[in-house]
Amino acid sequence: MISLTEEQQSAVEVEKHLLLAACPGSGKTRVILAKLLGLADTVEKSPRFIGCITYTNAAVDEIESRLRVYGTNTSTEKCDVSTIHSFCLQHILRPYSWLVAELPPTFKVLTREIADFEQIVEAVEDHFGRATMARTFDDYESLRVDVHGEPAGDGFEHGIVTRDSAILYWEFVRARGFLDFAMILFYSLRILREHPFVARGIAARFEWLLVDEFQDTTDVQLAIFRELHRHLTTKFFMVGDHNQSIMSFAGARPDLAQEFATEIGAELDYSLTANFRSAPGVVNTAHTLIATNPRMHSEGKAKDFDAKVTYVHVSQPLNAITEHFLPMLQDEGIELGNAAVLAPWWTHLIPVARALREFDIPVFGPGARPYRRRRLLAGLAEQLGACAESEHFLGLPGVEKALFRLIGDITGATRFDVFSYAGRRTALALIYRARACATAHPGGKAWLYQIAAEIAEQLYTDGWVPAPPTALLEASADEMVRDMRANRVDLENLAISDMGLFANPEKALKLITMHNSKGREFDAVALISMNYGHLPHFSSTTQEQYDEARRLFYVGITRAKKVLLVASDFSDRRNRPCPFITEAGLMLGGSEDW
């Protein structure tokens, strides 16, 4: 039985469409879980299901793991938990792609990590006679399709992508047998619009759809929900916070979510105002920045936390970490693994990560790896490095996922059977091999080369590859070693745990962009590079862009439980502190214990 507060219980008991406003740290996952379990009982003896759509795979894993704890086998089987892209793939695109002539008969999902992505972008740019730069790939990665099938996104609106290059890019993606995430959503919408029987069937299957992070639902996603609602057989339970709407670059706007909720007649008067995460001092800072009614307040253990909220103006972002944040962690007895450094962009984090690495401070995030993340061997080596020195098998799912990607990169085939008994057997065998290698080769460099050979042999023995990929994996190990040498890593003293840090980063200081911090929480948070031009971005020209930047600052603040450091800097003489620092009531040099 899941214990709920009066606010939470009231929301769970609503039997109509509902848009629930949930403040940061309000326990919305617990509410969603309770709603899921209650609804699953009502459809136990029917052919219908309860769908739950959440924002990230990590959130899917969390909800599914809690379902297994609190639910029965029957109730768990009645719950379909997925991201919106997985939902569209499973229920629309894979079974009905044959309805769209231009789609490849079988397709794989194209991500930035797959080599084909850069090859396609280079081919498109070459066609138009343009040289590719690092920003070029970012622009194409941000490309999306709007509800009318036209190009949109930051790379199109502010970057180098044109309508003609976007159309050619999509043609090349399809020609190689891929769809990217934006194409998955658009073609799903197109199938629902052009073939109502598909939408009717999905609506008949799902009694309810529970949607998390609803404030960041995009225009295309909402159009998909409209097509499902058109058949009036599915109810919606939507949870979100318009004060945390920060995904306009993906097509999300808080007013779109509100319009949909009003359109379907959803209840709008329910809210979760108790924050079980942050100390009163942190909550008060957030409320000063964006006042809410009813007011957010600390509850549970959080209301007894002593908060330390500090603003500093320093010469360099790194100084905020070394001279202020790390000493604060030491004073408060907070371990590095429970702390995070947030910045508006990953470009702000990379130099900080490299500098901290030189100080032998373990860090996890952009620029923390001393080798390229996309090296063929890197992902699986990291997972096995984490497992090699542990006494449990909690890292097994991570090994399976890395194994899936590696086999795909080597063979070009999508082997979902990696997630079957056969794949788990291979993953376990590799963990045992990694541990044996750690005993025989305790040095990180020697272990890396040996595990490359062991992986190649195991993949061939178990039939995942037609021939042992020994040369490929050893070449990848060579590349990783060259990368580390170029980054001045002490290879003679490289530990196996250094390899595993990126798969199991509990003891490392986290470096995360403010957008990617959404849904996370830490005992201590430092917000760096809080300068005007970074936040809001210098390209912001509208009130909505300014307001979204404020909401992003709000998201950053509310990741902290006990310690919050906000830092602007004068690394450039033109730098001015972010205006939201003043709006939040923070004073220069002020350090307040609440």
Range 142-169 burial, b when 16+ CB lie within 10 A, else e: bbbbbbeeebbbbbbeebbbeeebbebb
The 8-class DSSP code of residue 574 comes to T
Residues 263-284: b if buried by 16+ CB within 10 A, e if exposed: ebebeeebbbbbbbbbbbbbbb
Residue type, 432: Y
- Rounded CA separation 161/155 (Å): 6
Contact 358, 522 (CB under 8 A): no
Rounded distance between C-alpha atoms, residue 453 and residue 447, angstroms: 10
**What is the H or E stretch that residue 126 is in?**
helix 115-127
Pairing relationship of beta strands 509-513 and 363-364 according to DSSP bridges: parallel
Contact assessment for residue 286 and residue 24, using Cβ atoms and an 8 Å cutoff: yes
Scanning 412-542, the segments in alpha helix (DSSP H) are 421-440, 444-461, 470-486, 496-500
| 24 belongs to an annotated ligand binding site | yes
DSSP per-residue letters across 238-305: EEE-GGG---GGGTB-HHHHHHHHHHTT-B---EE-EESSS-HHHHHHHHHHS--SSPPEE-GGGGGP
Contact 123, 99 (CB under 8 A): no
Would the annotation count 28 as a binding residue? yes
DSSP-derived letter for residue 306 is P
Q: Tell me the binding residues.
A: 22-29
Q: Tell me the binding residues for ATP.
A: 22-29
